[in-house]
Amino acid sequence: MSFNYNYPEYNCFIRGDIAVSIYRGRLIRWNDEKGFGFVESDIEKNGIFLHISALKGIRRRPVVNDVITYELLSENKKLRAINATIEGVEAIRMHPKMNIKKKAERSQWYKLKSLLPVFFVLTILFITYRSLPHYRNFDSQNIVDYKEVNDASAIPQNTTSHREINNTTFICDGRTHCSQMRSKEEAIFFLNNCPNTQMDGDRDGEPCETQFGSN
């Protein structure tokens, strides 16, 4: 729905419950401390209310007798100026919010891009730090194993717990006393090969001399 007012200024149209028009008038009163004033108009006897917020991107604050171009907004039967400019005063070019957002995103990307080499170096250092201990452990384990093999090969393999003497096999079975021996050969085997034997009291290497005699 649209309706034209018989105003001497520009055409007026109604959008919903709000009437919006474009007008031009002289600023007749201005309170710079409070940031508002009134624009001369044939429509409103006391002038059209103008707030500083309606002047978007102005390079200076308005003064009395400035020519103001504005849109007229009518709400609840009250008129006020919106989207106003001062004639002869160049407005500051405002960037759209979308451009500001893109600029901020671009700035963040540049900052992140500048940090990529740092992240790369830190990643390499981290991987190196994680891999070196494993390499050292692996190498030292190999050295230990190698030493153990060599040491084991150098040890004489004369620790058998059984031995065949005169076609008779002797086995360490826990016996430790002469009374448990069946022969001198068996006593010699136990003395030389089995632990905790008590068969050589004089420690001359001859076991069970009382029982089997000495050589």
Q: What sections of 155-208 are H helices per DSSP? A: 184-193
Residue 81 lies in a domain: yes
Dihedral sign (CA 35, 40, 43, 44)? positive
* Domain final residue pick, 45, 71, 86: 86
Angle, vertex CA 11, rays to CA 5 and CA 12, nearest 5: 55
What pLDDT is stored for residue 158 in this prediction? Answer: 42
What pLDDT is stored for residue 162 in this prediction? Answer: 53
Residue 51 lies in a domain: yes
Residue 64 lies in a domain: yes
Q: What sections of the chain are H helices per DSSP? A: 97-154, 184-193, 209-212
Residue 6 lies in a domain: no
Which residue segment(s) compose the domain that 171 sits in?
Answer: 162-212
User: Nearest to residue 74, comparing CAs of 48, 92, 95?
Assistant: 48
- Which pair of tokens denotes residue 167? 């076609």
Residue 45 lies in a domain: yes
> Residue written as tokens 């624009």?
39
Residue 22 lies in a domain: yes
* Domain final residue pick, 36, 64, 86: 86
Q: Identify the helix (H) or strand (E) that includes residue 81.
A: strand 78-86
Count up the domains in the chain and report the number: 2
- Per the DSSP assignment, residues forming a β-bridge with 23 are 70
Residue 91 lies in a domain: no
* Domain final residue pick, 86, 109, 135: 86
pLDDT of the chain, 215 residues: tens digit per residue: 333 333 345 556 565 666 656 788 999 999 999 999 999 988 888 889 999 999 988 889 999 999 998 988 887 888 889 989 998 888 776 555 556 666 677 777 777 778 888 888 888 888 887 776 555 555 555 554 444 445 544 444 444 445 555 556 888 988 999 888 888 888 889 989 999 898 888 888 888 888 887 76
CATH of the domain at 77: 2.40.50.140
Model's pTM, two decimal places?
0.38
What pLDDT is stored for residue 43 in this prediction? Answer: 80
- Which pair of tokens denotes residue 129? 């730090």
User: Nearest to residue 96, comparing CAs of 66, 57, 130?
Assistant: 57
> Residue written as tokens 């891999």?
131
